[in-house]
Amino acid sequence: QLATARASEAAFQISAIAHVSKGFGELVADGSSASLRESFSRATQVCLAAMGSFGDAPEVRSRALMLLRRMVEMQGDDLLSYLDAALPQLLTRADAHELVELVTLVNQLVLKFRSKVMQPVTQLFGALAGATFSQLAALDAQIASSSSASIGSAAPASDDVRERRALLRCFYSLVHSLVHSDLVGVLAAPANASHTEPSLKLLLIGCVEGPDMTLQRQCFSILQRLVE
């Protein structure tokens, strides 16, 4: 009970900082906002350090992700130095929904900073891709062993099917952003070589399955860009 209460308090504190930050736009490293930027930077580091003690609590992980999304807008690519340290803690415990949030967060950084974030995103991609493939395999196994496998495409999707589609959608979006932001080098880096084949297989599945026409077109667009 004490551990649960402490985790709830930690989640509340992280949430409070995230909500306060909504009153501010991007903070530059010099000038009048320098001290405020430093305060939010320190608060972010403390919040992420709390993952070591409270990372098992879904509420804490959810609030930490909310704070990280806010810090992208406030601190820009400086956030990547914190994310590199926090990602292993977040990925170790992440469920499919949280993994979608993490991939979306990195995609947000790619779209905002493009080639400026080549090195840190190259380091982050391997862990994200590995977690995505593992989570998709688990979802595929759950779907295959349930009644969802025999339900037609027109029927309402199960939770597992919806989670699989959401995870595919955000992974395709990240790869699409990489290849259209001068960051193909992230996929071609030696450190990510083991993820090349499963990434291409997933793209080919997307070209065939979708799960909708928009995603099919997106996957074809990615493959075309890679060929070019």
31 Ramachandran zone, left/alpha/beta (phi>0; psi -120 to 50): left
Residue 90 has pLDDT above 90, yes or no: no
Lowest mean pLDDT among 68-82, 98-112, 156-170: 68-82
Listing DSSP states for 162-202 in one string gives: HHHHHHHHHHHHHHHHHHTTT-HHHHHSGGGGGGHHHHHHH
What per-residue confidence (pLDDT) applies to 99? 92
Is residue 128 within 8 Å of 106, Cβ to Cβ? yes
CB 89 within 8 Å of CB 55: yes
Single-letter code of the amino acid located at 196 = T
Q: Does this model's pTM top 0.95? A: no
* Average per-residue pLDDT for the chain: 86
Q: What is the dihedral angle through the alpha carbons of 216, 96, 19, 15, rounded to the nearest 10 degrees?
A: 180
Per-residue pLDDT averaged across 175-204, rounded?
Answer: 93
pLDDT at residue 153 greater than cutoff 70:
no
